[in-house]
């Protein structure tokens, strides 16, 4: 029987960074700028493609989450 370690098959790690933007900031622009910013970091993987997800509306503004992958778990 073949055993595959689904928990640690490689060194790739997914990171989530929550952030809040002004309610007037267009979501498409927030997504565009967020993805450009993540891709400007050399250690962020191009595949899977980084994402910016809308989470909810808060008293402070629109809550989003930046999601990206890195292949070195020791770099943050």
**Mean pLDDT value of segment 58-73:** 93
Distance of CA 65 to CAs 2, 4, 9, 16, 18, Å? Answer: 37, 30, 25, 6, 4
pTM: 0.81
Average pLDDT value for residue range 25-53:
96
> pLDDT at position 4, please?
67
Query: Per-residue confidence at 76, pLDDT binned at 50, 70, 90?
Result: low
pLDDT at 21: 97
Q: Counting Cβ atoms within 10 Å, is residue 15 exposed (0-12), middle (13-18) or buried (19+)?
A: middle
Is the sign of the CA dihedral 23, 25, 26, 28 positive or negative? negative
* pLDDT at residue 13 is higher than 80: yes
């Amino acid at each position: 029987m073949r055993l595959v370690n689904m928990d640690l098959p490689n060194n790739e790690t997914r990171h989530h960074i929550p952030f809040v933007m002004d309610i007037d900031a267009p979501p498409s622009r927030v997504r565009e700028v967020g993805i450009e910013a993540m891709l400007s970091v050399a250690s962020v993987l191009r595949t899977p493609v980084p994402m910016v997800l809308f989470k909810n509306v808060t008293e402070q503004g629109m809550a989003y989450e930046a999601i990206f992958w890195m292949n070195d778990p020791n770099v943050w």
